[in-house]
Structure 1
Amino acid sequence: MKLGLQLGYWAAQPPTNHAELVAAAEEAGFDTVFTAEAWGSDAYTPLAWLGRETRRLRLGTSVVQLSARTPTACAMAALTLDHLSGGRHILGLGVSGPQVVEGWYGQRFAKPLARTREYIDILRQVWAREAPVTSAGPHYPLPLSGEGTTGLGKALKPIVHPLRADIPIMLGAEGPKNIALAAEICDGWLPIFYSPRLAPMYNEWLDEGFARPCARRSREDFEICATAQVMVTDDRAATMAAVKPFLALYMGGMGAEGTNFHADVYRRMGYAEVVDDVTRLFRSGCKDEAAAIIPDEAVDDSAIIGDLNYVRAQIPVWEAAGVTMMVVTAGSAAQIRDLADLV
């Protein structure tokens, strides 16, 4: 089992201790540090800024949003960071949701699976640098031609020779078809609310992707880097209560009311009625009440919270379920060292 540090995206102000956390993670033997983006800070700038002081940690995005960059712009950012880090970059991608894609980026959300496949094909063409990059579309046609264009577009290869012709790609996926796609065309999966209890269901979806004719990986060399709230505490009830507002936001407030992929994850876990009630309360402004009705079992399904012996016993459960890396958050260097000692 490997450990990853999730720095996430910034809140209202830039964090002040991320450099300390990254240094502690490198010293403690963590495998990867991840950054994220929503509709505030971007993922690449902090990752490059913080990664410059590291020598061993892999530098991952978990995740960058497809609609934030054209495929070639994303490929350029990835190959640049891969050079700067000496081949330590992991590109974690996600489609986000229609509320953000259409409301923030001004892009169309339709056909996310087809868009992801086409996007990743272009990324790999750029990095392989075997020929000028072309795509028949329909989502990212290159060169662009037709009505409204000059007709002068030219297929190009990147000026910079990529350090690696095949930078690892991981997909942030939550639904069955997207998880199968990750297994088929990517090098890893980045689940945000992973539940070991549902491993047989996840494995069925992953196996569907692995079985496809052109699958890149098998279960033996595919990474599952699962976000995991791992909290060592003697006051389990209070810590559970502190986590529930975060779950209420994702369960009830992320995305459009009828299209919330995070909520769908908890529906699959068996909490459909809870999701409906949390959504109703959260969207009516009763956020504290929404958090309060989330049962402890829903927290337990995707987190490890308890005393030292409990946490130590649960980590092998996640590993047995197929998780190859636990992606954790931490507020201090001491927490990072404690987590490293557990694993």
Structure 2
Amino acid sequence: MTDRDVFLPVGAQPTLDDLVDQAVTAEELGYDRAWFPESWGRDVVTPIATAAERTDEIGLGTSIANVYSRSPALLGQTAATLQEASDGRFRLGVGPSGPIVVENWHGMEFGNPLRRTRETIEIVKEVLAGDPVSYDGEYFSLDGFRLRCDAPDPTPPVDAAGLGPKAVELAGRFADGWHAVNYTREGVAERLADLRRGAELGDRDPDDSRVTLSVSCCALEDGERARELVAQHIAFYLGGMGTFYRDNLARQGREELAHEIYDAWQRGDREHATELVQSELRDQMGAAGTPEEAREQLERFEDIDGVDAIYISFPRGADPEEIRETMVAMAP
């Protein structure tokens, strides 16, 4: 059975307390895991640590912590600490993000994101094992680092986010799971072959690699409002968040549409970009409408062979009450 997780918008909530309350609500509603992002605004560690204190059963995780703003050793320490704080409920999700975030916000050179992600995952896993870390890579060379506290038991899994074939292959080869973001239903099915190939290259069982698919959801009594919010959200990512999501959609057989949405957004015609998503793409990438309609659409994503968990994400334009209404409507 496919798990149903929830993706909590860290930066969009009025207060930290409001955000953590959403994690508490998610647990009460029966969600399997609450994922916390980190982009700008609040960091990801503090909300998870606070949520770990206020919840008892729901899984907690980062989706994603980027591999440029913290060193691999610090990410390992953080994962060990959050695993302890949550009594074994933590899962670390990492990824390279993109040049806009890494270079403009963190002042780091983007470089080779695949290599940096691989080295980060390898070092984090060595740190979490509790043994002295000896590592000589292209980006990182460590000698003698070791957790002063006991190694976490159980060891928290390490997932990787990835868009292109090589990034997904890397997740299968080195990580414990893959986070799929901004995919159509057909597109994610194609990338699963890359994940399996990566697992085989790493002499690992492909069935052990956990696939978590993000689906933008909005379920409101005002179904038209819900559909508009999801279409706007998808258009924003394809048109306004650099070229990675645009190119990822193009690889999924929607090249002309991807560029048309991107170009419309870039020239300031956001209404047209949203209309294109609404008519051509929304049902392939999201679940929106009345509660009954949105739940029915979500089940199509859950039926994808090879997907282990769906995490429900909320459109960026939704207010706290609309987020709550959707969370209740889409609960397991």
What is the TM-score with the length of structure 1 in the denominator?
Answer: 0.86
Question: How many Å separate the matches in 2 of 1:314 and 1:286?
Answer: 28
Instruction: Map 1:10-49; keep pairs closer than 5 Å.
Output: 10-11=11-12, 14=15, 17-49=18-50
Aligned counterparts of 1:333 and 1:242: Cα–Cα separation in 2: 15
1:320 pairs with 2:320: no
**Counterpart in the other structure of 2:330:** 339
C-alpha distance in 2, partners of 1:211/1:218?
Answer: 7
> Judging changes above 3 Å, is the alpha-carbon distance between structure 1 residues 273 and 211 closer, same or farther for their aligned structure 2 residues?
same
**Match of 1:336, as an amino acid?**
M
Residue identity in the other structure for 1:68: S
The one-letter code sitting in structure 2 at the alignment partner of 1:272 is E
Match of 1:98 in 2: 99
Equivalent residue letter for 2:312: V
Write the distance in 1 (CA, Å) between the matches of 2:212 and 2:195. 14
Paired residues of 2:37 and 2:64 also in contact (CA < 8 A):
yes
Give distance in 2, aligned partners of 1:337 and 1:276: 35
Q: Give 3-state SS (helix, strand or coil) of 2:218's partner.
A: strand
CA contact (8 A) 1:127 1:165 kept: no
CA shift in 2, pair 1:320/1:311, >3 Å: same
Q: Which residue of 2 aligns with 1:150?
A: none
My pick for the range that moved more, 329-338 or 3-12, is 329-338
- In the TM superposition, residue 188 of structure 1 has moved relative to its aligned partner by 1.3
Which of 228, 232, 250 pairs up with 2:237?
Answer: 250
Name the structure 2 match of 1:204.
193
Match of 2:94, SS? strand
**Mean CA deviation greater in 304-313 or 101-110:** 304-313
Q: Could you say which residue in structure 1 is the equivalent of 2:163?
A: 174
Contact 1:129 1:165 in 2 (8 A): no
- Residue 316 of structure 1 deviates from its aligned partner by 4.1
Aligned counterparts of 2:323 and 2:278: Cα–Cα separation in 1: 28
Moved more, 86-95 or 183-192: 183-192
Matched residue SS, 1:294: helix
Counterpart amino acid of 1:324? Answer: D
Cα distance in structure 2, aligned partners of 1:170 and 1:19 = 23
Match of 1:186 in 2: 175
Task: Compute the displacement of 1:16 (Å).
Answer: 6.0
Please list the CA deviations of residues 153-208 of structure 1 after superposition, one character each: whole Å capped at 9, or x if unmatched. xx221111122263101111111111111111111111112322234412221221
Q: Distance in 1 between matches of 2:324 and 2:273?
A: 32
Cα gap change, 1:199 to 1:237, in 2 (>3 Å) = same
Name the residue aligned to 1:151: none
CA–CA distance in 2 between the matches of 1:102 and 1:308?
40
Tell me, yes or no, if the aligned pair for 1:21 and 1:332 is still in contact at 8 Å.
no
User: What is the CA-CA distance between 1:91 and the residue it aligns to?
Assistant: 0.3
Q: Which structure has the greater CA radius of gyration?
A: 1
The residue number in structure 2 matching 1:152 is: none
Q: Which residue of 2 aligns with 1:273?
A: 256
User: d(CA) in 2 for partners of 1:10 and 1:248?
Assistant: 19
The ranges of structure 1 where at least 4 consecutive aligned residues each deviate by more than 6 angstroms after the TM superposition are: none
Q: Which residue of 283, 287, 298 maps to 2:281?
A: 298
The normalised TM-score by structure 2 is: 0.88
Counterpart amino acid of residue 62 in structure 2: T
Q: Which structure has greater helix proportion?
A: 2
Q: In 1, Cα distance between the equivalents of 2:39 and 2:71?
A: 17
Provide the C-alpha distance between the structure 1 equivalents of 2:134 and 2:257, rounded to a whole number of angstroms.
Answer: 47
Instruction: Give RMSD over aligned pairs.
Output: 2.3
| Corresponding residue for residue 110 of structure 1 | 111
In the alignment, which residue of structure 2 is the partner of 1:51? Answer: 52
Matched AA of 2:244: F
Matched with 1:261 is: 244
Choose which of 249, 262, 265 in structure 2 pairs with 1:282. Answer: 265
Deviation at 1:139, TM superposition (A): 0.3
The separation in 2 between residues aligned to 1:266 and 1:214, in whole angstroms, is 30
Cα distance in 2 between the residues matched to 1:156 and 1:128: 12
Q: 1:213 to 1:96 in 2, by over 3 A?
A: closer
Whole-angstrom CA distance in 2 between matches of 1:246 and 1:334: 17
Whole-angstrom distance in 2 between the partners of 1:301 and 1:108? 34
Q: Which amino acid in the other structure matches residue 208 of structure 1? A: R
Amino acid at match of 1:186: A
Gaps of at least 5 residues in structure 1 are 144-154
Q: 2:159, 2:171 within 8 Å by CA — same for their partners in 1?
A: yes
Change in 2 beyond 3 A, CA 1:239/1:270: farther
2:135 maps to which residue? 135
Classify the secondary structure of the residue corresponding to 2:142: coil
Q: Identity, % of aligned pairs?
A: 28
The structure richer in strand per residue is 2
